[in-house]
Amino acid sequence: MLGLATFQRRIIFPRHLTQPYPKAGDNIAGLERIWIDTSEGKVEGWFIPGDGAGPERPAPLVIFAHGNAELIDYWPELLAGYRRMGINLLLPEYRGYGRSAGSPSQQDITDDFVSFYDLVVRRPDVDGSRVVFHGRSIGGGAVCALAAVRRPASMILQSTFTSLRSMAARFMLPGFLVADPFENLEVVRKLDVPLLVIHGRSDDLIPFEHGRKLYAAARQGKFIAYDCDHNGCPPDWDRYWKDVRSWLLAVGILR
């Protein structure tokens, strides 16, 4: 069983495909590197302040979890829309990715995200009542697992699956043998907070129907569909940020 779990995790968490950027983060204004201690060594996270945020003006916080063949290095510029809205951004890394020690699993990622959450939400420049969890692809599993133990003000699931058990055939596994199931649909059913689901109609990795099911299970849901595939979502970043901003205003994260 240990060998099977190791095989699964190499497929689900293909960190061997990722390459850290040289001098990653050095050109991002205000970026703070945060390290947490784990049983396997130190894990990295980045905190990027929103424009105008500070102790005298605490701002909302977005905790963003990236896809399975990505690193936090890749995201500060793509997520600069949050910073321009005055929203703080936290990018926790997964164990074994980039400069972080250890090996990834659902439980270890959840434990680390809880540690990052508990550390950052106490900052004087963060409004702990306006924390958004945003997960893309496998990152949707990471933020749903976090939401099961730390309640967000709202959540965004982008190109995300209902559970990895339901995706098992694509990983050549029977569902009952999945070591890291990431039961997102179960979390969404129980979590009564505003949920934005974003999915590409032509997603060839995580079928569009997964996004529809997550939306249908939400108690306070909104669904946005784009004409794109998995890695091309969103197809238009200007439209994307207008849609995200509109939703954040509607649910009270932006005031």
Can you give the residue ranges of every domain in the chain? Answer: 2-250
Class of domain 2-250: alpha beta
70: left (phi over 0), alpha (psi -120 to 50) or beta: beta
Condensed to tens digits (0 to 9), the pLDDT of residues 242-252 reads 999 999 999 99
Whether the full predicted model's pTM is greater than 0.75, yes or no, is yes
Contact 180, 9 (CB under 8 A): yes
Neighbours of 211 (CB within 10 A): 26
Residue in 194, 209, 202, 244 with CA at minimum distance from that of residue 224: 244
pLDDT per position as a tens digit, 180-215? 999 999 999 999 999 999 999 999 999 999 999 999
8 A C-beta contact, residue 214 and residue 158: no
**Contact present, 116 and 89 (Cβ < 8 Å):** no
pLDDT of residue 46: 98
